[in-house]
Amino acid sequence: MNKKSFFGNILSIFSTNIFVIGLVVISGIILPRLLSPQALGKLNTLTALTAIVYSFTFLGMRSSLIIHLGKKKFDQEQVFSALGYIFLLSTVLSTLTLIFFFFFLSTDHFSFSIILLVCLINPFEFIVSYMQGYNLARGKIENFNRLKWIPKLVYLLAIVILIGLFRLHVRGALLAIIISNLLTISIYLRISRFTFPVFKVGKTPLKVIKSLVSYGSLYALAFLVTRLNHKIDILLLKRMCDLAEVGYYSLGANLAETIWQVPIAVGVVLMTKSATHGNQKLVTRQVCSTLRVSILVVLGAAIILYAIAPQLVSFLFGERYSPSVPIVRTILPGILFFVILKIINSQFIGTGKPHLTMIALIPALFLNIILNLLFIPVYKGLGAAMATNISYFSGCFVLLLVYARTFETGLMEIFRYQKSDFNFIRKIRSKLSSR
């Protein structure tokens, strides 16, 4: 990473995440206002599907790029050249998987335009993620931040125009995702020196491709298991309930999930630091310290959200989404467990040990599926939230045991608060006073 401090990088990403939260919240308010619960359920089912397919067809390239560029395993030009071929492979895999789902697995009928739009989402997502991986590996946090807020801002504007003005409904929302990523790529290429991956005839870098994919495949598998734990409930809910129930559940879950922006900000920096720092004992201390602070922040936010959920949902989304309130309240413990999982997982990813996370997450996934199948027919969306809580807790508990053993720290040490944990408050005051 560059010379900017560890705390400075976290603060920079966290500040961006606050802005991103604002954009996501505004989009999250406008979208349910423009779409019925049934349409919102259909949209979230389609985006959950693309997210799951993305998780394994992306081949773990962002994490693999951080490892290869951060540790300088190959020349940058060779890596970019190999990335062009990998992008083509990922695009073909993603498109074929989605087409197979729509024509052979789905029990619903989708129009050609919906299928086309869904298939176009992931290729642009791939490119944005390549750019993010490159900037994280080079410690260019400012550029990484741009790649987070620009697509959210464009998406917000696009849904207002395409759904609010042109009444394109679900098609408009899918098109907004594509436009936001496409414009982000165009804008970023203009303001940065990022070299787009190119093909070189007769110079296929097979060794680099093999290295990128072999490293990335482990990350892809770990990412797939994590993403399935996060999204499988929506697909199962769609199978066993109507689209309105999916809409209520997805809105409630999305609202609750806004409070985990802290571990996302911290996890990104910790992953990059783990990949580029030689002293893992120091990284472990920082991981545990930031985990302890994040738990307090998220716990406080969860208590507030629990208290004001009925008024907040009614004010932001209208009375028709009131069935989302119990879901918001029920899923909050699962969000806290996911925070712990997200932060400690960052060190596994950064040190090239994603396979260890699967020791915890694969059993949690099977538990998640079984509990969803048992709870959803009885409790519907509330059952999916209960299943999420239990599976996240089990995955979090096992991963903590694996983490303590792998990085040689006591389980109680991870949660023992220290005065130094709160030094960031003094640093924030110092930064504010210096302005």
Structure tokens at 90: 């990922």
| Mean pLDDT on 338-366 | 89
How confident is the model at residue 7, as a pLDDT? 52
Structure tokens at 1: 């990473």
User: What are the backbone angles phi and psi of residue 353, rounded to the nearest 5°?
Assistant: -125, 50
User: What are the backbone angles phi and psi of residue 425, rounded to the nearest 5°?
Assistant: -65, -45
What mean pLDDT value characterizes the chain?
A: 88
Could you give the CA distance from residue 168 to residue 163 in angstroms, rounded to a whole number?
5
Could you give the CA distance from residue 344 to residue 270 in angstroms, rounded to a whole number?
9
State the pLDDT confidence band at 9, using cuts at 50, 70 and 90. Answer: low
Question: Amino acid identity of 7?
Answer: F
Give residue for tokens 């989605």. 98
How confident is the model at residue 276, as a pLDDT? 53
How confident is the model at residue 142, as a pLDDT? 73
Does 129 score more than 80 pLDDT? yes
| Mean pLDDT on 1-15 | 54
Could you give the CA distance from residue 67 to residue 201 in angstroms, rounded to a whole number?
27
Does 295 score more than 70 pLDDT? yes
State the pLDDT confidence band at 369, using cuts at 50, 70 and 90. Answer: very high
| Mean pLDDT on 150-166 | 95
How confident is the model at residue 220, as a pLDDT? 92
Of the given ranges (3-17, 28-42, 101-115), which has the lowest mean pLDDT? Answer: 3-17
How confident is the model at residue 257, as a pLDDT? 87
State the pLDDT confidence band at 290, using cuts at 50, 70 and 90. Answer: confident
| Mean pLDDT on 201-223 | 87
Does 425 score more than 90 pLDDT? no
State the pLDDT confidence band at 2, using cuts at 50, 70 and 90. Answer: very low
Could you give the CA distance from residue 257 to residue 324 in angstroms, rounded to a whole number?
13
Does 417 score more than 70 pLDDT? yes
| Mean pLDDT on 106-114 | 93
State the pLDDT confidence band at 119, using cuts at 50, 70 and 90. Answer: very high
State the pLDDT confidence band at 335, using cuts at 50, 70 and 90. Answer: very high
| Mean pLDDT on 39-58 | 96
| Mean pLDDT on 101-110 | 92
Q: What one-character-per-residue DSSP string does 151-213 give? A: HHHHHHHHHIIIIIIT--HHHHHHHHHHHHHHHHHHHHHHHS-PPPP---TT---HHHHHHHH
| For the chain, percent of residues with pLDDT exceeding 90 | 61
State the sign of the Cα–Cα–Cα–Cα dihedral 191, 193, 197, 202.
positive
Does 197 score more than 60 pLDDT? no
How confident is the model at residue 272, as a pLDDT? 53
How confident is the model at residue 1, as a pLDDT? 47
How confident is the model at residue 27, as a pLDDT? 93
Could you give the CA distance from residue 232 to residue 372 in angstroms, rounded to a whole number?
9
How confident is the model at residue 251, as a pLDDT? 95
Could you give the CA distance from residue 284 to residue 204 in angstroms, rounded to a whole number?
39
State the pLDDT confidence band at 259, using cuts at 50, 70 and 90. Answer: confident
Could you give the CA distance from residue 70 to residue 139 in angstroms, rounded to a whole number?
9
Structure tokens at 395: 């995955």
Does 361 score more than 50 pLDDT? yes
